[in-house]
Amino acid sequence: MRLGTVLGMMAGIVGAATTALAAPAPAPASSTGPMATPPKLVVVISVDQFSFDLYRTYAPTFTGGLKRLSAGHVFTGYQSHAATETCPGHSTLLTGDHPNKTGIVANNWYDRQTGSNLYCVSQTGTSDERAKSNALLKVDTLGDWMRSAQGDARVYSVSGKDRAAIMMAGHNPNGVYWWDDGFGFTTSSFAGPDTPATRAPAEAFNQRVLADWAKTPPALWSAGTAATCLSRTRPFTVGKTTWTDTVPPQTNAEAETGDGWLTSSAFAAELRASPLFDRTVLQFAAGLLDQNRLGRGPGRDILAVSLSATDYIGHRFGPGGAQMCAQMAELDASLADFFARLDATGAPYVVLLSADHGSIDVSERVGPPSLRIEPNTTLRELGSFLRKTVGLEYDPIVSADPRQLVLGLGPVDDQRRPEITRAIVDWLNARPEVARAFTAAEVAAAVPPKAKPVEQLTLAERFNESFDKDRSGDIMIAWKEGASLGIPGSISDTVAGHGSPWDYDRQVPILVWWPGISGKPQARSMETVDIAPTLAPMLGVTAPAGIDGHCVELGQGCKR
C-alpha cells in the first residue's frame, strides 16, 4: 500500500486506541493536605521538547491527562545547563546531577581517543546494530539507589528513543525498552536484562500491533483535532521549501508500494512525527504496568516513560503551528487513557511529568525579520580566517557539533594550541551571529556558586553545568538568541530545534500529582536535578550525598 494512501485515509480511519482516548477519564476527587499514603509506584514521564512556554500556551485547552496533572503542584522547571538536548536532559531527570557529572554532554560528542563521534548510548566492541548501552552514564539513578537499598524494588523504562529510555533506566533496571523502526519495541543486554522473559512483553506487543497495522493502516493523526487547530495554520518558507502547516501534514515522504510499506523508512518517519507514536509508547507502558503488577508487589516500583513525538513534530514543523496544536490535544487525551489504567490498578501512586529540554518556534514563522543562521557557513569563513591569519593550511575543526568545536591540530601546531584557540574565540566573538564563545578553560573555571538562583546563571556557568573535560569541546558557542540553525533541504528536514543555553530551551514544566492532592502553581522554580531527591523520600530512599539537586518539600517529608 502506498504511504500516501495511508496519509489520505487518516481522516476516516480512527483506530481502537484513538476511540478509547475520546472520553478522558475523570481524575479522582481531590482533598487538601500532604501525601496521606506513601506511594507504591512512582511514574516519571518525560515529554521530549515540552517547553514551559508550550505548556503555558495550551494549558487552558487541556481536558484530559494534562489537565489532571495541572491540578497538582506546577513548577517552572529548568534544565539549567547549556547542552539542552535529549540525552543530556534525560540524564538529569532521575540522577540528581547536571551533565557535567553524568558525563552526558550531548547526544553525540567527539571521542578524542578513537577520532570519531560517539553516540551517548553507544556500545563499543560489538557488531550488533541494535546494541545500546548505559556504560557512558557516569552516575546512578533514583532507580539504582532504590534497587540497591530495597531488594524487592523494581524499575522499568520505556521510550520511543533508545537514549531517553536508557538514561532514565540507569544501570540496574528490571526492563528497559525503546522503539526500533520496522521492528517494534526492543532492548539490549548492554542496557538491562535481555532474557526471553524480558523480551516476551515486547514481542507479544509488536506482533499484535504490527499485525493490526498491516490489516488496517493506522490513523497517525486524529480527525477530530484538525478543525480546532485551523486558527494556528501559518505557512512559512525556509530557503526554497514551503511548509503548508496542515493537519494531517503534507510531506514529501516517498511513496511506498507493496507489502513493505509498514517497515519502510518513509512510514517510520511519518510515525515518529505523529501523535500515534506517543499513543503506542503509552499503550506498551500500560501493558508493562499490568503484566508486572507494578505498584501491587511487595516492594516499591518506578515506571519511567519518555514520549518522543512532540520532539519530532517540533523539529519537523516547529512548535508554533497547527501540527503542534493537534499534538498537544492528542497527548492530553493519550495521557488520560493511560491514567485511567493507573487508576484501575488501585495502587497508591505519584506521577511527575517534565521534559528533557524546551524549544523555540521557526524563526520564519515568528518573523519578520527571521533569524536563521547557517553554522557551516560561519565555520567555512573561520577556515579562511585561520589560513590567512593564523597560518593553518588545513581545517582544524574535527567535530560536527556547531555548539562545541574540537580542534584537531598537528604536532607542530599543537604547540600553539592556546594561541590558536584564543584567535578562534576572538574571531567568533566578533561575529554578529554569535552571542558569545568561550574556551574550555573559561567554561571549566565558571563554576556556579551553590546558592545562586538558576535564573541568574551566566552563559559561562550554564556551559559549565554540561562540561566534561574529556568529552566536551575546546570551544563552546552560544549562537544568537532566538535564532533557528541550518537551512533544510526538504520538507522532512528539521526546521526548528533546540540545544541552546537560552531560557526557551532551558525552561520546562515540572508537574507533580497524586490522588487526593490539592496543588497549586508554585512561585519558586525547580530544577530537573531536584526531581530524584524530591521523589526519593516517597520511595523510602536516601539520596546520595553530594548530588547537585535537593529535595523540594511537597508534603512527603524531606530530610534536612
* Residues contacting residue 16 through CB under 8 Å, at least 6 positions apart: none
d(CA 516, CA 300): 20
d(CA 247, CA 233): 9
Catalytic residue among 18, 76, 84, 86: 86
Residue 137: C-alpha distances to residues 115, 170, 473, 551 (Å): 20, 8, 18, 22
Three cell numbers at 446?
565558571
Residue located via cell numbers 541552546? 500
d(CA 221, CA 538): 37
Residue 543: C-alpha distances to residues 95, 149, 325, 539 (Å): 9, 11, 38, 11
Residue 237: C-alpha distances to residues 234, 240, 312, 370, 459 (Å): 10, 7, 19, 11, 31
Q: Is 86 a catalytic residue?
A: yes
The C-alpha angle with vertex 429 and arms to 427 and 432, in degrees rounded to 5, equals 100
Contact between 497 and 49 (Cβ < 8 Å): no
> Could you say which DSSP state residue 537 is in?
G
Mapping DSSP onto H, E and C, the string for 187-228 reads CCCCCCCCCHHHHHHHHHHHHHHHHHHHHCCCCCCCHHHCHH
Amino acid 360 reads I
Strands (E), 91-204: 108-111, 116-119, 154-159, 175-180, 184-186
Contact between 559 and 542 (Cβ < 8 Å): yes
Residue 245: C-alpha distances to residues 14, 166, 232, 235, 550 (Å): 21, 33, 8, 5, 42
How many residues are present in the chain? 560
> Could you say which DSSP state residue 406 is in?
-
The C-alpha angle with vertex 141 and arms to 138 and 145, in degrees rounded to 5, equals 115
Residue located via cell numbers 487513557? 337
d(CA 528, CA 357): 10
Phi, psi of 238 (to 5 degrees): -120, 120
Phi, psi of 301 (to 5 degrees): -135, 155
d(CA 92, CA 433): 30
On the 0-12 / 13-18 / 19+ scale of CB atoms within 10 A, 482 is middle
| Distance separating the N- and C-terminal Cα atoms of the chain | 61
d(CA 46, CA 56): 16
| Positions marked catalytic | 86
